[in-house]
Amino acid sequence: MTSPDNTTTSPETLRALEEVYAAVKRVRRDLRPSDRIVQDLEIDSLATLEILLGLEERFQVSLVDNVRAAGVTTVGDLVALLDELRAGRPS
């Protein structure tokens, strides 16, 4: 799967994000790489923190303390960052 900025996103990571999103927001939704996290998904700062912590626990990576996480604006950006962290590439 390729996001609008031509980065490849992992379907496995996207599904995991959908599951964490559903647990936090209490609503199931198919997420697209182009979805904007704040505007389209209506995620506030508390929900953002809960989602990041859920993803950290699931994938054993550090997102909350990651400088790049602050610049994530779309689902595709977040999935790409997670994939990089999971692969052990420097962020």
CATH code, domain carrying 49: 1.10.1200.10
Within a domain: 36:
yes
| Ranges of the chain whose pLDDT falls below 70 | 1-9, 89-91
Within a domain: 2:
no
Q: Residue with structure tokens 């602050």?
A: 70
**Is the CB of residue 74 less than 8 Å from the CB of residue 38?**
no
How much is the pLDDT for 3? 43
Q: How many domains does the chain have?
A: 1
User: Whole domain around residue 24: which residue ranges?
Assistant: 11-87
pTM listed for this prediction:
0.84
CA distances from 16 to 31, 50, 79 (A): 11, 14, 9
- The size of the chain, in residues, is 91
Within a domain: 32:
yes
CA distance 11 to 40: 20
